[in-house]
Chains A and B, each alone.
Chain A
Amino acid sequence: MTVNTALYVRRKFRSTLFLGLAVGAAVFGIIWLGFILGALFYNGFTALDPKLFTQMTPPPGDDGGLANAIAGSLIMSSVAVLVGTPIGLLAGTYLAEYGRYGRFAFYIRFINDILLSAPSIITGLFIYELVVVNVPDSYFERACSGLLGSNCFMGHFSAVAGSLSLMVIVIPVVVRTSENMLLLVPNGLREAAAALGAPRSNVIRAVTWRAARAGIVTGILLAIARISGETAPLLFTALGNPFWSTDLSQPMASLPTVIFQFAMSPYEYWHRLAWAGALLITAAVLTLSIVARLLQPKRS
């Protein structure tokens, strides 16, 4: 019996070569990502300063901090999460409990997954058309100014518009994770509760929600992480504001838009502030994702 040594050598060589390339790909990827984080931490830490948290964004050539942008980001993200989470959780509950195999649930799931990865700049345009654009004497605007008077948020850039555009991003994230987490709850639990005579709504609220609590919190944290770096939708909804403002009906600053504006400027000091802001956002996002990961239940 003859052994075709050349063939074996060739196959062995091919295997080693391509696996070597795979290792190379991994090293290459990790080097770039390390390069990015390294640059971010280096430039961010050298720009860190207590003033960041106490002073407002400065005009060119002046000293200042990022206090108004940090506050703006916190306010708008909180409003978006507070309003978006219940809607997302309830819709996720519908998909996991009531709709499950229904046709309507199938379409909602499909649409939700599209919204989940749709470009965020589209969200901004949507809210711009819905809230910001000034249609004189429209029904909504009359109702808005009738109810809120000078606090009406429609017809111009406002923090409400910013929060709404972030909310549109929060909802699909929460829907997806809550549905997934509710589906992980064993049916035996639901059946046991139903056998005790509990109405279905009580089963869901007292049993399945409670069993899936950790997972649902994970989803909310991921949603916060997702919106804390969103820039595009805020550019033409909340706009920005160089002063301290907590008025939701007025334009409001946010970290990402300030980073965008400052980084694109020619001023050295603004660049430093942009790096500091970028570091703050990354630190927040990484912390949130790590906490979310620790809370996440194991996949069965």
Chain B
Amino acid sequence: MGQGIFKQKNGLYAVDVAAACGVLTPEQLTGLARLAAENNAFRVKMTTRQTMVVLLPPENTAAFKEALETLKLRVAPFGNVVRPVKACAGNTALCPRSLDDALELGIEIQERYLGRPVPKDFKIAVAGCPRGCTDPHCADFGVIAAGQGRFHVAVGGMGGGTRPRHGEIVARDIPRDKVFALLEYVLERFCALAEPREKLGRAIERLGLAAFRPPAEMTAAEAAPAADEEFIRFLQD
């Protein structure tokens, strides 16, 4: 598995630092700032994958990388692996528009799958509502909260490249635990069917979505309650 450390045009090294879907504690942030300063970092740049790139002189990268572990941060894996997960600030405490705990789900997915080898880089995005601030339709595996513990899943999206494509919905209104089962299934099919260095979306175009579509029991929708039960009680009080 490769690591996100890249030589830049100016001779500095970009070290890609991954946190829990982009969430840092104040201690981690101040610790990272201290580490960056101690290692003569030139700049720190936010990335589109909710990681941070720290630009360092080559002689400082090893010390910086080692010290990251004390902050419970890590260098993001790179190459043909599951990449850092993007998740929105959707949970019970943050975004008022969120319909479910997208952030916690994204963090758990990242903890379980980050760095897992695959034929070509595999990007995951989790959104707390259909507004989709994390662009779930542009990810290899996109999860969209539908409310009341249910999620939609799109597969095969890719936002970059010369021929970007939107993912296709393969499951609607599935419960949280089935999101993991479905991800496991898609990853297995991807590893089994894709050619080396072939994106999931391209493999779907070549073989058809049916080859990657999970079995019906994995995508069976969970019936939605008529409405938020707490609100019903509040309304009738």
On whether the two chains bind one another, the answer is no
